[in-house]
Structure 1
């Protein structure tokens, strides 16, 4: 009986048998990262994989809260200013529209200054504080101090000083956030590069 061991055949290299250790086995490549936002999706509707300026920011404010904030601010400014200017408008014939326009112009100018100062100071008007929303810079979420605040307030309020055309622009402005994506910006937001988010 022969005592010679069988020679290893092709591919029968040392360590390739059943007793080969697990550390010597080839490792599978790591799974590739799925496309899209690594943080669980883009809540603002942006394109998958694109860097979102509001990553880590509070969610966008609802349109209902934004509308109620505007109504509150309009009442806060409109009622007292109208009452204060009423005695000075008595000499006009309101049927001709002259006195009504003058009063409206004063209200709009006061509202413009009110909103610009409040947003520049803290990113909120009184109405926005009540409804717990705030205006933030789109790039970094900061308070829109200085020029952005004044630009935003001007684009919202001042076009209404132009009869007829100003109202149509204002209407387009306030409605534009209902179809704008991904940040629900009105035209005054786009002009100032701001966005309205929930205040937390």
Structure 2
């Protein structure tokens, strides 16, 4: 199996993927009318529209993450940093487990309005910094994957 990716590589890859998440979030705010409501009513938010935008955002991000990882083990961020997700057992592409990994990473974001999603996301994202020996985050553990350097 290739060497395990560093925390720095993972962070920068996730930063790039966060730009994708931000674009999806903006589109969902526009699509639900939440953005227009905030522009028309300065300093106010329509909670229902914002929650709907959040649910749609994380559902779409799950599709992005799951599809990319199932196909070739790389999101746009991972491609840019030349790292990939591999099955822990044999280094193969995650295929179906890419969807599991994507679900555990993205779907708790739907709970951001109740703070549970934010706390889980933070814990999940930091977990690999103290995990030994494979530097797995919780979404890696759930899918039995590891992030390695790409060939």
Q: TM-score range by the shorter chain?
A: 0.7 to 0.9
C-alpha RMSD over aligned residues = 1.8
After TM superposition, the structure 1 = structure 2 runs for residues 11-90 of structure 1, keeping only pairs within 5 Å, are 57-83=1-27, 85-90=29-34
Q: Return the match for 1:178 from 129, 139, 147.
A: 129
Tell me the SS of whatever aligns to 1:67.
Answer: helix
CA contact (8 A) 1:92 1:98 kept: no
Relative contact order (C-alpha < 8 Å, sep 6+): which is higher?
A: 2
Bigger radius of gyration: 1
Task: Return 5+ residue gaps in structure 2 as ranges.
Answer: 39-43
Q: TM-score, normalised by structure 1?
A: 0.66
Within the alignment, does 1:122 sit opposite 2:66 as a pair? no
Q: TM-score, normalised by structure 2?
A: 0.86
C-alpha distance 199-115 of structure 1, shift in aligned 2 (>3 A): same
C-alpha separation in 1, matches of 2:131 and 2:26? 34
CA contact (8 A) 2:108 2:117 kept: yes
> 1:160 is matched with which residue?
109
Task: Return 5+ residue gaps in structure 1 as ranges.
Answer: 1-56
C-alpha deviation, 1:78, in angstroms: 2.4
